[in-house]
Amino acid sequence: MMSDTGGGHRAAARAIAEAVDHLYPGRFEVRIEDIWADHTGWPINRLPAAYPWLADAGARWWQLIWDLSLQRPLRQGVLAAANLFIQRRIVRLLAAWQPDAVVSVHPLLTALGAGWVDRARLRVPFFSVVTDLVTVHPAWVHPAATGCFVATPASRDQVIAHGMPRQKVFLCGQPVSLKFARPLADKPALRRRLGMHPTRPAVLIVGGGEGVGRVYEIAQAVAEAAASAQLVVVAGRNRALKARLDSAAWPIPTQTYGFTQRMPELMAAADLLITKAGPGMIAEACISGLPMILSGFIPGQEAGNVHYVLGNGAGVYVTEPAQIAALAREWLAPGHPVLARMGQNA
């Protein structure tokens, strides 16, 4: 069970499905269901569509929503009210599907999901997979769940503090696509395959699955400052951003992508990643040994990710495009030690 409130939940669900098929080929059918968008009515089914705005221009509103939702009576009251309108339909769906296990990769679905499984009279395990690295919302925790999987010691400590029995908490890392574990060609050959220059230093700029943040401004600043580099800019699902990137006149070699499944290759081909502090993107960069400049974060759940990256020496946090560009130009200079050191720390 997931919801497209940001790209990370679906990516985690797909990674889990890949792992199940890899470990137990042909033995299980995995259904990935967007519960809010596909199985509820208005206005709840429109909430995922509002998330990109809340994560970007409406970040102050999201911070307010986050802060209010930390208050347990208010959170439980809102969830109970919403459940009155959606529970019957979802319980019927679960009873019809008859799953052998139910996995939630979304906090609100975790908060309600154990009750749905029980009302559907399913005697099957219910698991929560926390997709946040450090800052864990209390909704991720349902003590009746069979187990709760977390990515870091910090998230483990938080779910226990929120009331999850210690024996039900499993530290196992972030769900990431198996594509990141597959060997790739050497960097020059990989760049040629991607249509990139084989030897120019490469900067990868990403705004998450929804293409949020000052992606265009950062790309322009880096292109003007780092004359010897090349850019790859990923706009995600943000079609307006993709069109703006495509119409720009770039002073250095630049490729643009929309939402893409080629992130393992793009990260392996890059020397530096500029991105917001999304947990999946950070985990993928760490696997790829790719140094990071974090250009922003979504208030609430992504705040702790900044400290996680900085504390491990895998990147820095800089928000102004001009300062980001100056750092990129400095670090991409031949023989500069920072990128190698951060890549090792990642």
- CATH for 126: 3.40.50
**Residue 171 shares a structural domain with residue 190:** no
Q: Is 3 among the domain residues? A: no
pLDDT greater than 90 at residue 4: no
Q: Is 1 among the domain residues? A: no
pLDDT greater than 80 at residue 7: no
| Rounded Cα distance, 290 and 263, in Å | 12
**Residue 198 shares a structural domain with residue 134:** no
3-state SS class at 239: helix
| Rounded Cα distance, 191 and 197, in Å | 6
| Rounded Cα distance, 335 and 157, in Å | 40
**Stretch 65-89: mean pLDDT, rounded?**
95
For 156-180, the pLDDT digits (tens) are 999 999 999 999 999 999 999 999 9
Q: Is 205 among the domain residues? A: yes
- The chain-wide mean pLDDT, for the chain, equals 94
**Residue 22 shares a structural domain with residue 166:** yes
Q: Is 2 among the domain residues? A: no
> Which of the listed residues 145, 175, 205 is the one where a domain comes to its end?
175
User: What is the pTM assigned to this prediction?
Assistant: 0.93
| Rounded Cα distance, 344 and 346, in Å | 5
What pLDDT does residue 47 have? 84
**Residue 160 shares a structural domain with residue 263:** no
pLDDT greater than 80 at residue 6: no
**Residue 253 shares a structural domain with residue 132:** no
Distance of CA 316 to the CA centre of its chain: 18
Confidence band for 182, pLDDT divided at 50, 70 and 90: confident
**Residue 341 shares a structural domain with residue 215:** yes
| Rounded Cα distance, 328 and 203, in Å | 8
Q: Is 227 among the domain residues? A: yes
* Total domains present in the chain: 2
Domain of 319 in residue numbering reads as 184-345
pLDDT greater than 90 at residue 5: no
What's 212's domain CATH number? Answer: 3.40.50.2000
**Residue 147 shares a structural domain with residue 197:** no
How much of the chain exceeds pLDDT 70, in percent?
99
**Stretch 105-121: mean pLDDT, rounded?**
96
What pLDDT does residue 8 have? 86
What pLDDT does residue 316 have? 98
pLDDT greater than 90 at residue 57: no
> Which of the listed residues 117, 152, 175 is the one where a domain comes to its end?
175
**Stretch 134-150: mean pLDDT, rounded?**
96
**Residue 336 shares a structural domain with residue 225:** yes
| Rounded Cα distance, 104 and 323, in Å | 39
> What tokens appear for 157 in the block?
């400590």
**Residue 143 shares a structural domain with residue 257:** no
Confidence band for 198, pLDDT divided at 50, 70 and 90: very high
> Which of the listed residues 151, 175, 199 is the one where a domain comes to its end?
175
pLDDT greater than 80 at residue 27: yes
**Residue 134 shares a structural domain with residue 244:** no
In our burial notation (b when 16+ CB lie closer than 10 A, e otherwise), range 241-273 reads bbeebeeeebebebbbbbeeeebbbbbbbbbbb
**Residue 76 shares a structural domain with residue 195:** no
3-state SS class at 129: strand
Q: Is 98 among the domain residues? A: yes
Q: Is 17 among the domain residues? A: yes
Confidence band for 49, pLDDT divided at 50, 70 and 90: confident
**Residue 26 shares a structural domain with residue 125:** yes
Q: Is 71 among the domain residues? A: yes
